[in-house]
Amino acid sequence: MRIDIVTIFPTFFDALDISLLGKAKSAGLLELGVHDLRDFAHDRHRSVDDTPYGGGAGMVMKPEPWGEALDALIPERSADRADGSGPLVIFPSPAGEVFTQASARAFAAESHLVFGCGRYEGIDQRVFDDAAERSRVKLVSMGDYVLNGGEVAVLAMIEAIGRLIPGVVGNPESLVEESHEDGLLEYPSYTKPAEWRGRPVPPVLLSGNHGAIAAWRREQQLERTRRVRPDLLG
Ligand code: 6GU
């Protein structure tokens, strides 16, 4: 998979050189391009923002640098390709649809993602409208809270997506037992020693009875989900 990111803070994405995703990059499973939006601003101060039409607090990101940056990353007329081979363009935004494990699965099936990280009060609306004429565009939110910009949201999305790329997580079985993959929260986990600070490991886990262990884990998942996230049970 190829991922391109447009940002005014490229060093945020140095974190992707660490751990599993860093290895995925070295192994060639993940190709990453980080692009500084200011490289597409041509005035003396390389400015990327301006005051909002209609008034109001804060600044809005100017359309021209965004237009040039996306022109460089979106092949011409990619939306018209019958095989849908053009990139999926994702703008992190609290005004977008909420990112879930299902979104991570869907995005992990793409061959090319382009992330556009907004800052300030957002990006001039015409940037989205213009990009949507040439490619598939999505606004995606991390939840109902406010971040200063899209960079941290994109790091989270890339971690969730990257670990689903075949070969990135060593043991694929560890992917299916995660929270949210089956719509429930994870069961609690234990390792040695069998007793720690007077707290024993639940005896069923030491029983060797695989049926009983599976049933106990399922019950723990249901109990946790009912208590903490009843919304997931519908
Ligand atoms: Cl994706 N971006 C920003 N700036 N704030 C957010 C968010 C995204 N998701 C939740 N809050």
Q: Locate tokens 């390389």: which residue?
A: 46
Dump pLDDT digits (tens) for 204-218: 999 999 999 999 999
Chain region(s) in the chain for CATH 1.10.1270.20:
177-232
80 has binding-site annotation = no
Atom of ligand 1 nearest to the CA of 143: 10
* Model pTM score: 0.94
Q: Indicate which residue's Cα is closest to atom 3 of ligand 1.
A: 147
- Ligand 1 site, CB within 6 A: 92-94, 141-143, 145-147, 149-150, 153
pLDDT of residue 78: 61
Residue 55, pLDDT above cutoff 90 = yes
Residue ranges of alpha helices (H) inside the chain are: 19-26, 63-73, 101-108, 125-132, 151-162, 173-176, 210-228
147 has binding-site annotation = yes
Tokens of 28: 């060639």
Atom of ligand 1 nearest to the CA of 140: 1
Q: How many angstroms is it from 95 CA to the middle of ligand 1?
A: 8
Residue 75, pLDDT above cutoff 90 = no
Q: How many angstroms is it from 192 CA to the middle of ligand 1?
A: 40
Fold of 177-232: Trp Operon Repressor; Chain A (1.10.1270)
Dist CA 34 CA 117 (whole Å): 11
Chain region(s) in the chain for CATH 3.40.1280.10:
2-171
Q: How many angstroms is it from 147 CA to the middle of ligand 1?
A: 5
Pick the CATH number of 2-171 from 3.40.50.10540, 3.40.1280.10, 3.40.50.261, 3.40.50.300: 3.40.1280.10
Residue 201, pLDDT above cutoff 60 = yes
Whether residue 141 contacts residue 99, with contact meaning beta carbons closer than 8 Å, is answered with yes
Dump pLDDT digits (tens) for 44-54: 999 999 999 99
145 has binding-site annotation = yes
DSSP classification of residue 2: E
